[in-house]
Amino acid sequence: MKDIAVGGGFQLGIGPEQIIFTDGIQPFLFRTRTGALWVQGQINYPAGYRAPTGKSPMNPLGRVISRDGGKTWQRWWYRGDPIKAIGVTNALWEGTAEPNLSWGGVGMEYDDGLIQLYHEYTFVGKEPGVFNGFVYESRDDLATLSDAIPIRIEIPQGRSGFDDSGFSFPGFCLHRSALALPGSGDLLTTAYGWFHGDDQPGAYEPKQTKMRVIVLRSADRGRSWRYVSTVAAPKTDGSDDTEEGFDEATMARVSRGPRAGRLVVIMRTGSNSRPLCESHSDDEGLTWSQPRKLELCGVDPALIEMKDGTLALLVGRRVWRGKDCFGGDGVTDGYYIGLSSDGGESWTHTRCWSTEPHAGPGACMTSYSGVCEVEPGVLLAVYDVGRWGAAVRYIAARRVRVTRTS
């Protein structure tokens, strides 16, 4: 491992790159309690795929799984059928469940071994303020998954909108994090989207408007969810300087120390080297601190609490090199790790890696990633190299040893 002194009482050891999923980009990582590692990413279109027309063109999906701590990986297909790996079809946009999964979304495992994987997209329902969603369940450690199970999500002021490419978007996105509250066992998750009245223009497309991050709560193991609170929304006084508002949130619960019980949420605010923002709650998500900018920049942050109470954050930072080219100034682009020993009050961070020579000249990345702790003090980071249409694209993994030096 390559040792990096981070400061703030930490040192990192960065392991070599391991390509785990050729053709994949924008990974979503889920770790089960037995240690199984499940990674999903967008892949190229298979022959005969019919993409939705006029709507956000989600790529088809592929998946890999490891049951030996990330040493080896095998392709994982839903019900053994590669064609059913596609994530969104016209039928889903019309509100009909199909036996497939969406990239991203939320993963959850209960004490009794039930695993739930939530479809990222929700869809405007027939009742005002009600959105339809889907969850898939496994009771055999992801050897198999159920058909799509409908869920109900109540967001009274919620609406559909247009994404950062100008495509019609069906509703709120469930993203990254789900956790069970001690005592009640109720679930909390983050989502992002629009309320009626959220009409500030975004930075990229005429139809795009800035988004907000909210928290949802479920008291029935995810069959129904209700809106609890807004974590962060764009300012309406003309002073908002975000590109997108707030989106792609990740949440962790502090389990020890003077801030035990605190919920910490980290959010994306833009696409090109824009700062992440943090907000926290000390009352189970009922109220939230004002969002504050972090020194870390990037997209799709992934936040966890490690066994020793350290908060660990992985994020990919993009630097534009011209039209339609992510990546790559070779100095500030790449994947960063942030660490906090005080429940998210303060952070230390460093740039850990970018693209490797074997990715070829001009290699780029969408800068999406995921992270989990595979053994005490050791993180597994997954991330992408390449982008849509690139000749070289893959999802890779690295082990990262985190050592406290003070």
CATH code of the domain made up of 2-27+44-56+111-368+393-404: 2.120.10
Give the pLDDT score at 400. 98
pLDDT tops 80 at residue 130: yes
Tens digit of each residue's pLDDT (9 = 90 or more) over 375-395: 999 999 999 999 888 889 999
- The 10 Å Cβ neighbour count of residue 324 is 10
The pLDDT confidence band at residue 90, using thresholds 50, 70 and 90, is very low
pLDDT tops 50 at residue 98: no
Tens digit of each residue's pLDDT (9 = 90 or more) over 152-188: 999 999 999 998 888 888 899 999 889 999 999 999 9
pLDDT tops 60 at residue 329: no
Nearest CA among 102, 36, 20, 27 for reference residue 69: 36
Task: Give the C-alpha separation, 400 to 380, whole Å.
Answer: 6
Instruction: Provide the β-strand partners of residue 377.
Output: none
Nearest CA among 194, 364, 338 for reference residue 266: 338
pLDDT tops 90 at residue 53: no
pLDDT tops 50 at residue 82: no
Note whether 331 and 292 are within 8 A (CB): no
DSSP codes joined into one string, 123-183: EE-SSTTEEEEEEEEESSTTS--PPPEEEEEE-TTEE-EE-TTS-EE-S-EEEEEEEEPTT
Mention every residue, 6+ apart, whose C-beta is less than 8 A from residue 310.
10, 339, 340, 341, 402, 404
Tens digit of each residue's pLDDT (9 = 90 or more) over 219-267: 999 999 999 999 999 999 989 999 999 999 999 999 999 999 999 999 9
